[in-house]
Structure formats: C-alpha cells, structure tokens
Amino acid sequence: MKPHMDRNDWENSLASAGRVEHRPSNEAELRYATRLALYLWETHWKEASPHWKPLPDLMGVLTQIDNMIANLKPQKEGRP
C-alpha cells in the first residue's frame, strides 16, 4: 500500500470493497457540493486563498470541503 492514497485510489478501494457503487458523478450532487464549498471559501478562506477554485468532479469538491472544515478553528466567546 502506498503511504498516501490519492482520491482515485481511495474511491477505487471503497468500490472494490463493495462500500460504494462506482458511477459517474450526478450533476445535481456536484452543483450542491460546489455551492457548499463556495460558501465555505467565501465565509472562511477567501482572504487566505484568493485564487481558490472548486475542482471539476464530486470527489474533488468533497475533498476540498473536508480540508476547509478540518482547518476551521472554533470562535472565541464574545467574538462574531
């Protein structure tokens, strides 16, 4: 096993384990995930990453959302 799996390796391993059906991304799912990713970016990351763009596939956008959420810090009490 490679020390780091890319998203294709991860998706293929889940598909071969019978955990997900390997199929092309549904356009509605991709649009929904992209809207969520854009909201997170505009709200939390626009200043730090002004040139960020969503990836063109569903797993890519979900990975971006995961990365953005993982790096969020809790707000201190009394601060908006």
Q: Which DSSP symbol is given to 57?
A: S
d(C-alpha 44, C-alpha 72), whole Å: 8
Residue 41 domain flag: yes
Residue 17 domain flag: no
Residue 16 domain flag: no
d(C-alpha 9, C-alpha 28), whole Å: 24
Residue 14 domain flag: no
The whole-number pLDDT of residue 41 equals 96
Residue 54 domain flag: yes
Evaluate if pTM is beyond 0.75: no
Q: Look at 10-14, 20-24, 68-72 and tell me which has the smallest mean pLDDT.
A: 20-24
Residue 5 domain flag: no
Residue 42 domain flag: yes
Residue 52 domain flag: yes
* Tally of domains within the chain: 1
Find the domain containing 31 and state its range. 25-74
